[in-house]
Amino acid sequence: MKVYDQIQKDLKPTPLKTHYTFNLRDFSKVICGMCMCTKKELKSSDSTLRLWAHECTRIFGDRLINNEDRLWMLSAVRDCTRAPFGSNFDTVFAHLDTDKNGKVETLDEYRGLLFGDIFT
């Protein structure tokens, strides 16, 4: 909900970004996407947090049209993992750190976050 609130406040529609209209249906899509996983697929709180970040990025981030807004999204997810969840973003997403500097800070690194059911 915090990511949704930040998007409503910071990413307003403009003439170039008329599709930046987010509503509670988008928020519900994040929840529905998370409910598609079962307990056996989410073995830890870290994997649940990764799924939440993936769903937020899939629903909200896929509409963003430039890297500035995508970096804003990465920052918003980073902030939300710290405050309500009490987790360190860079620790939870350490497997995405391709340059091994201890931080997931680029869009290319963050794009490695994937969830799917193609192997089932």
Q: What is the pLDDT of residues 37-60, one digit of tens each?
A: 888 888 888 999 999 999 999 999
pLDDT of 112 over the 70 cut: yes
Q: What average pLDDT does range 99-116 have in this prediction?
A: 89
HSE on the CB side for 120, CA within 13 Å?
Answer: 7
Residue 116's pLDDT is: 76
Residue 92's pLDDT is: 92
For residue 92, being part of any structural domain is answered with yes
HSE on the CB side for 52, CA within 13 Å?
Answer: 21
Q: What average pLDDT does range 31-40 have in this prediction?
A: 90
Total number of domains in the chain: 1
pTM for the model? 0.87
Pull the structure tokens for residue 120. 């089932």
Residue 28's pLDDT is: 96
Left, alpha or beta for 37 (phi > 0: left; psi -120 to 50: alpha)? Answer: beta
Give start and end residues of each alpha helix (H) in the chain.
Answer: 2-10, 24-35, 45-59, 67-82, 89-92, 107-110
For residue 65, being part of any structural domain is answered with yes
Percent of the chain surpassing pLDDT 90: 64
- For residue 73, give its domain range: 46-114
Residue 119's pLDDT is: 61
